[in-house]
Chains A and B, each alone.
Chain A
């Protein structure tokens, strides 16, 4: 049973970049598509995009185009999410999750435990 384990909390300055990792255990990451979703404090869920590691294909939400990138390290069964030009509004819990159905818009299961990114001067 695959599980997704994310890297630890980060505190960043405005204008800098952050990199969050998502490692698959109990299965091969290459077989899956991984989506990234964030949740600002007290707010709802927001989709950032997804990556298909086995094909190295990425798909970014329009809002984050040019500011977010996903990279797959297939040998380490790990996907990295990098968000640049950070501002206070990027303070949120960031989750990775598997696209269970395989296609864009399919359900997300399982989810990582989340990584809190705090942007503060």
Chain B
């Protein structure tokens, strides 16, 4: 059971916009930054959003994120086949005094 809760799967067709939610609590998302990672099959994770809503250099502007209270969400617009991957949210948890991850969401591009 992960500390941060994500839907197991989402899907969309090419060109569509999809969102992935991440629900936490006051000890993690509510008080610390949220980071999002993309993991393509057979590869190491890669950060796509850091510090709640900042896009690292090289990440397409189709990726965006937001946070409100104890929840965060990642949005991917103009969906491409290459976006098919697992996505994880992450934050520091003050109660656990450590980094926690969501269980991951598998994005399928139909």
A residues at B contact (CB < 8 Å) = 35, 37, 44-47, 49, 59, 61-62, 95, 97, 100-101, 104-109, 111-114
Q: How long is the Cα–Cα vector from A101 to B97 in the complex, in angstroms? A: 17
B71 at the interface (CB under 8 A from A): no
Q: Number of B residues contacting the other chain (C-beta, 8 Å)?
A: 25
Given contacts A44-B103, A61-B98, 19 further A-B contacts (CB under 8 A): A37-B45, A37-B101, A44-B2, A44-B104, A45-B101, A46-B101, A47-B101, A62-B96, A95-B45, A100-B47, A100-B50, A104-B92, A106-B33, A107-B35, A108-B45, A108-B47, A108-B90, A109-B46, A109-B56
Are the C-beta atoms of A49 and B44 separated by less than 8 Å?
Answer: no
**Closest residue of B by beta carbon distance from A35:** B99
Kindly report which residue of chain A lies nearest to residue B45, judged by CB atoms: A111
* B36-83 with Cβ < 8 A to chain A: 37, 44-47, 50-51, 56
Chain B residues contacting A106 (CB-CB under 8 Å) are 33, 35, 50
Q: Which residues of B lie under 8 Å from residue A37 when comparing CB positions? A: 45, 101
Among candidates B88, B91, B97, residue contacting A62 with C-beta atoms closer than 8 Å = B97
Q: Which residues of B contact A105 (CB under 8 A)?
A: 32-33, 91-92, 99
Q: Is the CB of B51 within 8 A of A107?
A: yes
Whether B100 sits at the interface, judged by CB under 8 Å, is yes
Asked if residues A108 and B35 are in contact (CB atoms below 8 Å), the reply is yes
With A45-B88, A107-B35, A112-B44 already in contact, the answer to whether A101 and B96 are too (CB < 8 A) is no
26 contacts between A and B (CB under 8 A): A35-B99, A37-B45, A37-B101, A44-B2, A45-B45, A45-B90, A46-B101, A47-B98, A47-B100, A59-B98, A61-B98, A62-B97, A62-B98, A95-B44, A100-B47, A100-B50, A104-B92, A105-B33, A106-B35, A107-B35, A107-B50, A107-B51, A108-B90, A109-B47, A109-B50, A111-B45
* B102 is an interface residue with CB less than 8 A from chain A: yes
B88 touches A44 (CB 8 A): yes
